[in-house]
Amino acid sequence: MKVAVFSTKTYDRQFLSAANSPIQHELVFFEPRLNRDTAILAAGFPAVCVFVHDQVDAPTLKILASGGTRLIVLRCAGFNNVDLTATAELGITVVRVPAYSPYGVAEHAVGLILSLNRKIHRAYNRVREGNFSLEGLLGFNLYGRTVGIIGTGKIGLILASIMKGFGCHILAYDVYRNPEIEALGGSYVELGEIFANSDIISLHCPLTPETHHLIGSDAIAKMKPGMMIINTSRGALINTQAVIEGLKSGQIGYLGVDVYEQESELFFEDLSDEIIQDDVFQHLTTFPNVLITGHQAFFTADALRNIADTTLANMTDFEQARPCANEIRTQPQP
């Protein structure tokens, strides 16, 4: 099957090509992101492969459909960038990779926790400059601290297991309880108790209307002064401006994020020679107790291999008219 692959970097080409070697789909790689301006590139392609920041909205989908596209292949888990009502109306199938890097994401969250706590990123820069002073590098023992985990699917469960190994107490919140959390000795509580009693809060839930800006001024006011917030899930779970106010007041003592609510204009690109116009993001980077990474929590060789294998398998299922377990099903609106 002929597939237009958008938003491709060298690593995408490497892993997708390797996974495709025994299958022999016709993959055509495009570096630009998919949107209503670039959709014309996919004319004549029955399938289009996209990533998290491609704009698969109704106008884009109409252009794709008019060019013969009948399949949208997401090489990621999230699909909030796809207008599922429009895909249903146009008869376009949508498939995704539901899970590919739970260990990688959980381990990255732990890396942010350790780096922020022990100021490893700051110590690294000091030592390179010949500064071996310990002033300002004071941390705290993780042993005995309370970690609040919001979202206890695969990633949240793995993080709970790792933090339990450090000797932490685990508080958890999720709409659906995971019995493995309780088997670890974790306790499910209401959000208010997570906010009030956690030394560290780590977010691992999907972005929905209910979770949008879950961490805002009201939630921050309930938290322990000087606590730590970690977000490796979705940027808009956090109200960035409210968090900045919390950092300025000292209510938030540490912030580690791998995602940002306006990241689509920034992440995955080299902007080192440009003036970044996002004043809120720039303000966030000025705090010494903030650590930001550019949506790399998933980025391991294991994950990229899993993404590529599942993506190619999804394409093959569609081509051979087989049921695909990773299809996102929806109904057109009346």
Catalytic residues: 234, 263, 295
- Long-range contacts at 176-183 (CB < 8 A, ≥ 24 apart): 177/152, 178/152, 178/153, 181/149, 181/152, 181/156, 181/157
Are the C-beta atoms of residues 28 and 3 closer than 8 Å to each other? yes
Exposure of 97 by Cβ count < 10 A (0-12 exposed, 13-18 middle, 19+ buried)?
buried
Are the C-beta atoms of residues 2 and 28 closer than 8 Å to each other? yes
In the 8-state DSSP scheme, what is residue 3?
A: E
Query: In this structure, what token pair is assigned to residue 205?
Result: 């839930």
Best CA proximity match to 144, nearest among 161, 157, 129, 163: 163
Integer-rounded Cα radius of gyration of the chain: 21
How many Å separate Cα 104 from the centre of its chain?
A: 11
